[in-house]
Amino acid sequence: MPIWAIAYCALIALSCVFALTLYKTRPSYYVPGQILSSICSVLIFVFYYEAFWTKPQSASIILAMIGFTLYWELWENRFLFPKVLRPGEVASEPESPFAGKPYKVSPKAYVCFWALVSVIALPMFFIMAQLMLSYR
């Protein structure tokens, strides 16, 4: 496994710890779900590089892992994503983005946020696609 992939897996683990410690209110299923999502993400790298285990014989296992990871990161962590302030709207009191409500940012900050998230997610999407293509 290359050094960048190991660093990326460490980044996944740190983001798990970050999400677990910063949410003020969360349902009881959040902690095991976040941990499982992070494990699935790291296992995608492990299976692609066959670092510790070989990839499963069935692509459906990988599809289930990818599906769960995408569901969890996009839906269950939706309060981590900002919303755009409407023209003329005044930002409310500065709230923590982890209070359980979406926070609002300027349109420029919104575009910068999604550009940064996209750049960070590109290696993960590349490995997911390469792993799925390896089942042909």
Integer Cα distance of 5 and 68 in angstroms: 21
Q: Which DSSP string corresponds to 71-111?
A: HIIIIITGGGS-EEPPTTPPP-S---TTSSS--EE-HHHHH
Domain hosting residue 37, numbered range: 3-82+98-133
- CA distances, 90 to each of 75, 86, 93, 106, 113 (Å): 27, 8, 9, 10, 20
Q: Within a domain: residue 58?
A: yes
DSSP state of 50: T
- Give the pLDDT confidence of 29-76 residue by residue, as tens digits: 988 999 999 999 999 999 999 988 889 999 999 999 999 999 999 888
pLDDT score of 21: 84
Q: Within a domain: residue 88?
A: no
- Give the pLDDT confidence of 79-121 residue by residue, as tens digits: 778 888 887 776 665 665 556 666 788 888 889 999 999 999 9
Residue 95 CB neighbours (<10 A): 13
For residues 21-29, give the mean pLDDT. Answer: 78
pLDDT score of 93: 59
Q: Within a domain: residue 121?
A: yes
Q: Within a domain: residue 91?
A: no
3-state secondary structure of 1: coil
pTM for the structure as a whole: 0.83
Q: How many domains does the chain have?
A: 1
**Cα angle for residues 66, 67, 68 (degrees, 5° grid):** 95
